[in-house]
């Protein structure tokens, strides 16, 4: 496998967007209309895009046309050829938005985020889940068969999104996998409720957190080193939808996604959903496994200016993920005939909240049109939205999508609060559409 360099146009724009406009389109911004491109620059851009930009007067300077952001195919075992690899050791691959159009994400289209190496020679017959910890009334082990026969089975559709999804837009750039939009999916998971399993052992009153351990192998190959061990507060662990899952979409969980057993906490950073699960600890303090501390999966508790140094005690653990949406149809770059309607659709999700409204814009955010929005299948499942779009004349357009949650929070148009590791980018998704 070849490690692919995903820099280029993004890097150029992330360093200095106005300078990037100048380099690419040969013109400066209009000094009489601050923040907008001069007509000449827009004409060059239009030639490149193959059509005049219909709402050129509202297109901000320093904006990379969505049609120039491409994806390339890559092959990964058990996964769709269209997934984009970001790293091959460990394997990390994301799913371009147009491949996420299914309501229930199929196994071959669920992203892969590994911090270590996938365990080899998995022996399901001897797979043991151990539950222990300071706040566990006893230590107990379960085989997979015992888990399946001792506890009631539940199925929920649960959104899994990496905390670093969208990292590639941050400036100053953040190190790590340069996720674009596709480190998210929403399959259906079947398993036992975590609370049923915990309560069968007995949880002491002083319990604060649960932590997980998986069977993946540290990149150093040192068997004593733990790849990642995170978790959630007891309150989240005790939710009905928090699962110890052994199946996904009515089949075994794909090896890359944690076969044969994993945790699933819908709406929380994917890093809480431990894969290849073999141990759960009930802690009397916030779990302190690898990747619980420092800048890992933590963000400044309060606003900081981009690039600043932040003290450890001013960093907070990410809990519920922010409101976000995707346009999964059409694919960016769609061409339609003048005078025809375009059906646009996608998903929206909001961590522990529900999505209450969905809007789209075709004039760079000047005006917004309300979309039809469906209810989630269950709590923490993404919701489907759709709209019919009518374009006023021929030209280059962008469709921008914006979700608002039941807490009245909306997605920002541009990248939100900078943080050292580039988490929680829930900026609006946009696609290019040409009307000819
Ligand atoms: N054991 C283990 N669990 C893990 C990880 C890991 O590297 N090892 N990665 C976490 C992260 S950061 C994410 S975003 C999700 C990704 O789940 P997926 O690969 O099934 O999409 O798994 C989480 N669980
Ligand atoms: Mo993640």
26 CB neighbour count, 10 Å cutoff: 11
Tokens of 281: 């600890």
Q: Which atom of ligand 1 is nearest to the CA of 212?
A: 1
Query: What average pLDDT does range 235-263 have in this prediction?
Result: 98
What ranges do the domains of the chain cover? 4-64, 84-317, 324-435
How far apart CA 73 and CA 81 sit, in angstroms, is 6
The DSSP bridge pattern shows strands 243-248 and 188-193 to be: antiparallel
Ligand 2 center to residue 34 CA distance, Å? Answer: 38
Ligand 1 center to residue 114 CA distance, Å? Answer: 5
Tokens of 22: 């100048």
pLDDT digits (tens, 9 = 90+) for 298-337: 999 998 999 999 999 999 999 999 999 999 999 999 999 9
Distances (CA, A) of 60 to 38, 119, 167, 229, 349: 10, 48, 22, 43, 27
pLDDT tier at 3 (50, 70, 90 boundaries)?
very low
How far apart CA 269 and CA 16 sit, in angstroms, is 30
Residue nearest to atom 24 of ligand 1 (CA): 274
Token pair 């499942």: residue = 381
User: Regarding the domain delimited by 324-435, which CATH topology (the fold level of the hierarchy) does it fall under?
Assistant: Immunoglobulin-like (2.60.40)
pLDDT > 90 fraction of the chain, expressed in percent and rounded: 78
How far apart CA 43 and CA 34 sit, in angstroms, is 18
Query: What average pLDDT does range 142-159 have in this prediction?
Result: 98
Helix then strand count (H, E) for the chain reads 6, 26
Any idea which ligand is nearest the CA of 119? Answer: 1
Ligand 1 center to residue 272 CA distance, Å? Answer: 8
Global pTM value = 0.86
For ligand 1, whether the C-beta of 112 sits within 6 Å is: yes
Tokens of 3: 């490690």
pLDDT digits (tens, 9 = 90+) for 102-133: 999 999 999 999 999 999 889 999 999 999 99
For ligand 1, whether the C-beta of 162 sits within 6 Å is: yes
Query: What average pLDDT does range 377-404 have in this prediction?
Result: 97
Whether the pLDDT of residue 76 is over 80: the answer is no
Any idea which ligand is nearest the CA of 163? Answer: 2
Whether the pLDDT of residue 416 is over 80: the answer is yes
Least confident of 136-145, 194-203, 301-310, 328-337: 301-310
Helix (H), strand (E) at residue 195: helix 194-201
Ligand 1 center to residue 259 CA distance, Å? Answer: 12
389 CB neighbour count, 10 Å cutoff: 19
For ligand 1, whether the C-beta of 177 sits within 6 Å is: no
How far apart CA 330 and CA 401 sit, in angstroms, is 13
Whether the pLDDT of residue 273 is over 90: the answer is yes
pLDDT recorded at residue 1 = 33
For ligand 1, whether the C-beta of 113 sits within 6 Å is: yes
For ligand 1, whether the C-beta of 76 sits within 6 Å is: no
Residues in the chain: 436
CATH class of 84-317: alpha beta
pLDDT recorded at residue 95 = 97
Q: What is the DSSP string of 6-51?
A: --SHHHHHHH-HHHHHHHHHS--B-TTSTTBB-HHHHHHHHHHHTS
For ligand 1, whether the C-beta of 227 sits within 6 Å is: yes
pLDDT recorded at residue 31 = 65
Tokens of 106: 């199929």
Least confident of 4-13, 15-24, 42-51, 80-89: 4-13
Read off the DSSP letter of residue 171. S
Any idea which ligand is nearest the CA of 230? Answer: 1
């Amino acid at each position: 496998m070849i490690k692919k360099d995903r820099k280029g146009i993004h890097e150029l724009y992330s360093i200095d967007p106005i300078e990037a406009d100048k380099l690419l389109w040969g013109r400066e911004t209009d000094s009489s209309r601050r923040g907008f491109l001069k007509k000449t620059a827009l004409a060059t851009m239009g030639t490149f895009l193959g059509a005049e930009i219909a709402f050129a007067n509202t297109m901000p300077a320093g904006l990379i046309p969505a049609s120039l952001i491409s994806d390339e195919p890559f092959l990964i075992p058990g996964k769709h050829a269209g997934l984009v690899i970001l790293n091959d050791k460990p394997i990390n691959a994301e799913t371009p938005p147009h491949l996420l159009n299914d309501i229930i994400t199929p196994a071959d289209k669920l992203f892969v985020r590994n911090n270590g190496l996938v365990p080899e020679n998995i022996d399901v017959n001897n797979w043991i889940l151990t539950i222990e910890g300071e706040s566990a009334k006893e230590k107990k082990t379960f085989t997979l068969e015992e888990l399946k026969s001792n506890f009631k089975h539940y199925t929920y559709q649960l959104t899994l999104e990496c905390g670093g999804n969208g990292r590639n837009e941050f400036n100053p750039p953040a190190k790590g996998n340069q996720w674009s939009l596709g480190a998210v999916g929403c399959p259906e998971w079947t398993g036992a409720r975590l609370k049923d399993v915990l309560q069968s052992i007995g949880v002491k009153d002083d319990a604060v957190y649960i932590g997980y351990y998986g069977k993946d192998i540290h990149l150093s190959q040192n068997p004593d080193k733990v790849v990642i061990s995170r978790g959630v507060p007891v309150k989240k662990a005790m939710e009905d939808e928090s699962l110890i899952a052994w199946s996904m979409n009515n089949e075994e969980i794909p090896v890359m996604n944690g076969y044969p057993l994993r945790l699933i906490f819908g709406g929380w950073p994917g890093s809480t959903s431990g894969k290849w699960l073999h141990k759960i600890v009930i802690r009397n303090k916030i779990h302190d496994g690898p990747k619980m501390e420092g800048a890992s999966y933590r963000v400044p508790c309060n606003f900081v200016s981009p690039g600043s140094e932040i003290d450890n005690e001013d960093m907070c653990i990410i809990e519920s993920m922010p409101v976000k949406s995707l346009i999964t149809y059409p694919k960016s770059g769609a061409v339609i005939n003048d005078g025809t309607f375009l059906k646009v659709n996608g998903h929206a999700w909001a961590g522990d909240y529900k999505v209450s409204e969905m809007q789209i814009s075709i004039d760079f955010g000047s005006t917004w049109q309300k979309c039809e929005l469906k209810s989630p299948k269950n709590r923490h499942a993404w919701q489907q939205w759709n709209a019919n779009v009518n374009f006023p004349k021929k030209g280059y357009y962008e469709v921008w999508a914006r979700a608002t949650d039941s807490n009245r929070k909306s997605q920002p148009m541009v990248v939100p609060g900078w943080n050292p590791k580039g988490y929680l980018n829930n900026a609006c998704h946009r696609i290019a559409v040409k009307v000819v």
